Amino acid sequence: MDKENVVLRVDDLVKSFGALVATDHATFEVERGTITGLIGPNGAGKSTLFNLISGFYESDAGRVEVNGTDVTDMEPYDIADHGLIRTFQTPRKLEGMTVREAMLVGPREQPGESFIKLFTDPESVRQREQQNLDDAEQILEDFEIDHLATQPATKISGGQLKLVELARAMLAEPEILLLDEPAAGVNPTLRNKLAEQIRRLNEQGTTFLLIEHDMEFVMSLADPVIVLDRGHVLMEGTPDEVQNDERVIDAYLGG
Ligand code: ADP
Ligand code: MG
């Protein structure tokens, strides 16, 4: 693949938990502008891979590159700075905050930088905060959840929380967004809205790496699809190729 077009490169990545090899020499690339699917049976190591790529776990061996920069085992906020943001399979509880407030503690915040600027350039800090507020409002509107803005973040449904997670992640304006089962626990109506938003953001230039259990959801959105089995990349192909591959059928039925 043309180097310029690779936004994420995972090379020979390894991670064990005791005797369990959760990531077993995983190697793949994500091409800029794609919605790349990542599927595999329960326990295949999909979430572990996200944790390694985004800096939440430390790898045993291997390399992760974002836009050609080696980000292996950097801190999550440094990796976010390089344009890679991820969501969690189970969104963290946002206690004591409204939905709007929850959106503003997004990963784009740089408290250290703002703190210094507060003294040297207070006007730019004020402008930045207003911009963040406007962006948050716009995204809530785009997702048709602006009516929830003043609700306690703990009071909204699981599906709505997933949309808020995605909206928060978008505020960081990532180049590549890693979504861990965004449709899980989301009702069919919201699920369609979620798919629409992913498609729309992708058309505006965001690259996606999408873990999803719901085959219909992932196969209708993603191309290519990468199949993970026991920590290893089993194959990669178009949704059609993947769905008709004997090894994939075996891994799922045997898994
Ligand atoms: P998937 O997301 O594909 O369902 P995971 O990445 O969550 O799979 O898990 C892969 C394997 O790694 C599982 O056997 C899981 O129990 C194990 N695992 C994941 N995280 C940890 C951890 N922090 N400590 C120990 N084992 C873990
Ligand atoms: Mg998982």
Residue 8 CB–ligand 1 contact under 6 Å = no
Vertex 16: Cα angle to 12 and 22 (nearest 5): 75
Best residue among 14, 15, 17, 179 to mutate for probing ligand 1's pocket (most ligand atoms within 8 Å of CB) is 17
Domains of the chain in start order, with CATH, are 6-92+173-254 (3.40.50.300), 94-153 (no CATH)
Distance CA 167, CA 179 (A): 12
239 prior amide bond cis, ω within 30: no
The CA 125 to ligand 1 mean position distance, Å, reads: 41
- Check residue 130 and give its pLDDT: 82
pTM: 0.87
Q: Quick one: tokens of 100? A: 């709007």
Of 170, 52, 201, 158, the C-alpha closest to 106 is 170
Ligand 1 centroid distance, CA of 43 (Å) = 6
Sign of the torsion angle spanned by Cα atoms 213, 219, 220, 225: positive
How far are the Cα atoms of 69, 72, 128, 215, 232 from residue 226, in angstroms, in the given order? 22, 21, 38, 13, 10
Q: What is the pLDDT of residues 61-86, one digit of tens each?
A: 999 999 999 999 899 989 999 999 99
Determine whether the shortest distance from the Cβ of 40 to ligand 1 is under 6 A.
yes
Q: If pLDDT is split at 50, 70 and 90, which confidence band does 254 have?
A: low
**What is the pLDDT, as a whole number, of residue 112?**
52
ipTM above 0.85 for this complex: yes
Helix (H, G, I), strand (E, B) or coil at 119: helix
Q: What is the pLDDT of residue 255?
A: 47
What are 167-220's pLDDT values in tens digits? Answer: 888 888 899 999 999 888 888 888 888 898 899 889 999 999 999 988 889 999
